[in-house]
Amino acid sequence: MTDSIEKPEVTTASAEPECSTEPSPVAIAGSLLDRLAAPLLAYPLITFTGWLLFFLNAGGYPLYTKGEPREGVTVFDIVNGGGVILPMRAGVEIPSKPLLMHWIAALISVATGGVTEWSVRMPSALAAVAGMLVCYGYVRRLFDNRSGLIAALILGTTFQYLQAGTGARVDMTLTFFMEVAFFEFICIAEGLSPRTTLLYFAIAFAILTKGPIGAALPILVALIWLIVYRRWELISRLDLRRGAVIIGGLSGGWYLAAIFSGGFAFVRKQLLSENLTRIIPHGGASMPHVHPFYYEDLSLLAGFLPWTVIAVIAAVQFMRGSRRTDPRLGYLFIWFAAVLAFYNLPQSKRGVYLLALYPALAAIIAIQLNDAIGLRDRLARLASVFSRAIGGALLAIGAVGAIALIFLYLFPATIQALLRHFGIVIPEFTENLAAAVKFWRFCPPLIPALIAASGLYLLRARARLEGLCAALIVATSGLALAINLVIEPALASTLALKTFAAEARKITAGKIVGYFGNLDYDFAFYNGRDLILTTPLDPNGPALLVTPEDDWKLAPGNLKAEYKTLLRSNPTDLDGSGRMLLLERTGTSPATPKNSGSGREA
């Protein structure tokens, strides 16, 4: 009896792999990515990443470019009694865009006690983080969790998105509402959303941010998709009457009120100059940002960095993969192609216009990368090549950053000499760089170390697409922090007119001050009151005058002899140009000439 009992088989070292209960590295990596991509962890992870990229130090440096204070003066006028429907920029000119972004900034300013650099940048920062969260939420519903997480992190770490999300401009607010409109349409079409109200509110808010383009692009993409996939039955489900009421009531209502307030000057500025003549050139109209037809394509390649390089892997996966272009993926391609083609048509072009297609492109690349991660053997060699190349580049960038910090500490004169070769002649910029590094203490040295560590990881670790993506996200976040904590504050401290405006207010002591020449929005913002445009030829005009130095140089010599310089600002350009002057007509109360900031008396 006992001889008939079968003995258990002894497992030897040569047993088949199927018998092993030890998880493989691939399974561990996939399981970790799945856990991170689940909503419970993904939403906090995306939010924290967005805070690092867009909120940290958002109010830590002055406005100094042309665009930010141009929007800031409108916010200032809204908060300080200049009107809500159509406030005048600096009290002298009609805003060039609708006002939703400015209204949001004004509400934040009132809630926080005044108009500041932080309050006028908050709409862009909030929209940037919300755009990442919305991208994750929609892509995970349309496709899967992992694609959603990858898409959101790709979107937030592209160069153009980073730039727009940290500046007080209307473009990021527009991008957010258009993103919601684009995604909401396909969700309605695919039966994932029964509502249409959110779609129409998003379109209305997009119009209130930057004009008719907020409706034109979502409608264009929807029409092309309906034609390609022959989904005409969807039109009856879209409740177009409700859309007309919501969009017409909100955006149309504001336009009617603004036309009533501003008259034909508003129509000419916002409807004709900012929209119609940019699409249909007029012989007598001068257009800004005129570029050749291929400009937007090159801007996309640069603005989508560092993910432009990884898009090659996604393209190879799409060509080799078995995923068909279903209506959902096809919609993303139509969204991307239609927006790119549309902005290639006008002569007036800017790279930031293409932000409207970034969520679609981020989602397309994320979906293909997620497929490639699941079939890693197909692209193992390509992933290895990219990992080594990008790893070497990141290691070099980290090393250069560390060397630059050492020289900034020990040999600042060498840094100044190097910068002069690039046309940066202001020594105060180097001093302000050192001051920013000192202020943040241990953070600046950690940034190049983090970037170099990401590169070293890619060089030494086994090449995997998820590791490559993670290293790029970490390294790009490090670069963004270096810009937001050190480089941008140093530039702003060197070039902003905040100190000049404050000293000018002290000297003038509440007296009437006229403004002559091209409008400087930075001075207008920090001036703290509306400008009074005047001409030195008016003998009854204000005795005190603020003017750009370059404009004053063009004035007749006999006129310049009637004024003396009380204050000369720091340069507003890195080549040492762009100063402002505070002048006083001779024969009035004496004052001692002085400089503001780094300005030197001529």
Closest CA to 484 of 125, 186, 136, 120: 125
Instruction: Tell me what pLDDT residue 241 has.
Output: 94
35, containing H or E segment:
helix 25-37
Render pLDDT for 300-357 as a digit per residue (tens, 0 to 9).
999 999 999 999 999 999 988 777 778 999 999 999 999 999 999 877 788 899 999 9
What would the DSSP string read from start to end of 221-260?
A: HHHHHHHHHT-GGGGGGS-HHHHHHHHIIIIIHHHHHHHH
Q: 3-state class of 429 per DSSP?
A: helix
Q: Is the pLDDT reported for residue 273 higher than 90?
A: no
Closest CA to 364 of 323, 403, 395: 323
Which whole number is the average pLDDT over 274-294? 64
CATH of region 498-595, choose from 1.10.287, 3.40.190, 2.60.40, 3.40.30: 3.40.190
Instruction: Tell me what pLDDT residue 276 has.
Output: 65
Q: Is the pLDDT reported for residue 576 higher than 60?
A: yes
Instruction: Tell me what pLDDT residue 381 has.
Output: 86
Closest CA to 231 of 195, 261, 191: 191
CB under 8 Å to 170, separation ≥6 — which residues? 71, 97, 101, 209, 210
Compute the half-sphere exposure of residue 287: CA atoms within 13 Å on the CB side of its CA.
Answer: 19
Measured CA to CA, the distance from residue 155 to residue 523 in angstroms comes to 34
Amino acid at 590: P
Q: From residue 369, how far is each of 46, 81, 115 by CA, in Å?
A: 18, 52, 43
Confidence of residue 281 (pLDDT cuts 50, 70, 90): low
What would the DSSP string read from start to end of 134-195?
A: HHHHHHHHHT-HHHHHHHHHHHHTSHHHHHHHTSSSSHHHHHHHHHHHHHHHHHHHTTS---
Instruction: Tell me what pLDDT residue 249 has.
Output: 95
Render pLDDT for 5-16 as a digit per residue (tens, 0 to 9).
343 443 333 343
Measured CA to CA, the distance from residue 68 to residue 58 in angstroms comes to 13
CB under 8 Å to 398, separation ≥6 — which residues? 448, 449, 450, 451, 452, 453, 454, 455
Q: 3-state class of 565 per DSSP?
A: strand
Least confident of 18-32, 55-69, 265-279: 18-32
Instruction: Tell me what pLDDT residue 350 has.
Output: 87
Closest CA to 472 of 449, 459, 460, 454: 454
Q: Is the pLDDT reported for residue 283 higher than 70?
A: no
Q: Is the pLDDT reported for residue 492 higher than 60?
A: yes
pTM: 0.90
Instruction: Tell me what pLDDT residue 208 has.
Output: 97
Least confident of 110-124, 147-161, 176-190, 368-382: 368-382
Measured CA to CA, the distance from residue 160 to residue 361 in angstroms comes to 13
Strand partners, 60: none
Render pLDDT for 23-58 as a digit per residue (tens, 0 to 9).
544 555 568 899 999 999 999 999 999 999 999 999
Pairwise pLDDT comparison (345 vs 367), residue with the higher score: 367
pLDDT above 70 as % of the chain: 89
Pairwise pLDDT comparison (7 vs 428), residue with the higher score: 428
Confidence of residue 398 (pLDDT cuts 50, 70, 90): very high
Report DSSP state, residue 494: H
Measured CA to CA, the distance from residue 37 to residue 147 in angstroms comes to 8
Where do you find CATH 3.40.190 in the chain? 498-595
Unique residue bearing structure tokens 């992190």: 153
Mean pLDDT of the chain: 89
What would the DSSP string read from start to end of 574-588?
A: TTS---EEEEEETTS
Q: CA angle at residue 111 from 52 to 211, to 5 degrees?
A: 75
Q: Where are the beta strands (DSSP E) in 444-483?
A: none
* Length of the chain (residues): 602
Which whole number is the average pLDDT over 220-240? 95
Q: Is the pLDDT reported for residue 358 higher than 70?
A: yes
Instruction: Tell me what pLDDT residue 2 has.
Output: 39
Instruction: Tell me what pLDDT residue 30 has.
Output: 60
